[in-house]
Amino acid sequence: NIEIKSRPEWDDIYTPPPAQFAKLVAQVVQEHGVAERVTIQSFDVRSLEAMHTLHPDWPLALLVENTASVVDNLARLSFQPTIYSPYFLLCSQEMRDTLQDRGIQLIPWTVNEVDDMRKLLELGVDGIITDYPNRIGEL
């Protein structure tokens, strides 16, 4: 995963504007020949839109930390992302069902405790973002 960390208030101060940022990230991905193994993720829909414009076939993940509905969050994009990636405590069966019906993977972040991993796997998530991948082996 490559996360594009951007916000409107950071444009031209800490980060390039979204279109330029996406172009730079895509260039590095292509230069290193890893496009087939990379998912681009961001909280900033502008960055995802820019990347989708450049590479509509690349998997993109919408990171989510708000309590808006899945439908409302997805409506912020002009395309369907490959992955919906909410903060893990936001996950529910309703969310899982909605995403599954749309063919979108559910991969929550950042799940570091084994009990939380277990609950999410039982819910049927498609993957887990964690700081401790070795803990999956404890399940």
Provide the residue ranges of all domains of the chain, joining segments of one domain with +: 1-58, 62-139
Please tell me the predicted confidence (pLDDT) of residue 71.
Answer: 97
Q: Please tell me the pTM assigned to this model.
A: 0.95
Please tell me the predicted confidence (pLDDT) of residue 45.
Answer: 98
DSSP per position, 78-109: SS--SEEEEBGGG--HHHHHHHHHHT-EE--B
Q: How many CB atoms lie within 10 A of CB 67?
A: 10
Binned at pLDDT 50, 70 and 90, residue 61 comes out as very high
Residue 44 DSSP one-character state: -
Residue 3 has pLDDT above 90, yes or no: yes
Residue 139 DSSP one-character state: -
Residue 138 has pLDDT above 90, yes or no: no
Residue 123 has pLDDT above 90, yes or no: yes
Cβ-contact 84, 91 below 8 angstroms: no
Of the chain, the end-to-end C-alpha distance in Å amounts to: 23
What count of Cα atoms within 13 Å lies in the side-chain half-sphere of residue 25? Answer: 28
